Amino acid sequence: GLEAVSLLAVSDNVRAWPGGTGSHKVAGNYSPGFLPQKAAAQQGYDQILWLFGEDRRITEAGAMNFFVVVKRDDGDGLDLITAPLDGTILPGVTRASCLALAGDPEFQKETSLRLHPQEKVYTMSDLAKWSSEGKLLEALAIGTAVIIGPCNRIGYEGKDIVIPGNGLGPVGTALRKKILDIQEGRAEWKGWAVVCS
């Protein structure tokens, strides 16, 4: 199993700015994280959760995309939420794959999950509210190397938002399994890859 990572939400430093290179895989996107990462480690956190703007919009986790799984108010399954591609978010292939799978009725039937993928602005206030209401079910760091990894707590303003469990939940597990099965040739999926004998 994957070890869950802890995140320190940071708003004093910025990973990417609108009109900059945040949506591209360039070396300059990583250097802003060195000092905040060191500070996070000194406080006992594994990675940074990058916030942006006065409303503390959630963007990315370290050098990875960030998703949350939230129980819907209408009882119709779960929302899988990530920040929109606004020029500050890296449009990673794993990010795109998770959104595509989550919205696919065949995947939902196969996994018995009712998912509603959403690309929308959400803030630390939203995250804290969902947590206090028991609606925040999973937090996921998503990227090429990790595929999908769990987050277990998020430090913000001297307190921790604790994510249930200490590993991947049902959504993260199902997405990770399907992506790895496709990558490693155990499954085909709608032309994403062709299994060669």
The verdict on residue 143 lying in a domain is yes
The verdict on residue 191 lying in a domain is no
The verdict on residue 189 lying in a domain is no
The verdict on residue 193 lying in a domain is no
Residue 146: how many CB atoms within 10 A of its CB?
A: 18
pLDDT value at residue 89: 87
The verdict on residue 103 lying in a domain is yes
pLDDT value at residue 12: 77
- Structural domain including 75 reads 5-184
Each residue's pLDDT, cut to its tens digit, for the chain (197 residues) gives 578 999 999 977 666 656 565 566 665 666 666 677 888 889 999 999 999 989 999 999 988 999 999 999 999 999 999 999 988 788 899 999 999 999 999 999 999 999 999 999 999 999 999 999 999 999 999 998 899 999 999 999 999 999 988 789 999 999 999 999 998 888 888 888 666 66
- Which sign does the torsion angle of CA 43, 164, 123, 125 carry? negative
For Cα atoms 126, 167, 105, give the angle at the middle one, nearest 5 degrees.
70
Total of domains in the chain: 1
Burial of 92 (0-12, 13-18, 19+ CB in 10 A): middle
CA–CA dist 92, 50 (Å, integer):
17
Q: Which pair of structure tokens corresponds to residue 92?
A: 């990673």
The verdict on residue 51 lying in a domain is yes
The verdict on residue 197 lying in a domain is no
Phi-psi region at 165: left, alpha or beta (left = phi > 0; alpha = psi -120 to 50): left
CA–CA dist 164, 136 (Å, integer):
8
CA–CA dist 120, 43 (Å, integer):
30
CATH number of the structural domain spanning residue 77: 3.20.10.10
The verdict on residue 157 lying in a domain is yes
Helix residue ranges, H only, the chain: 34-42, 93-102, 105-111, 124-132, 170-183
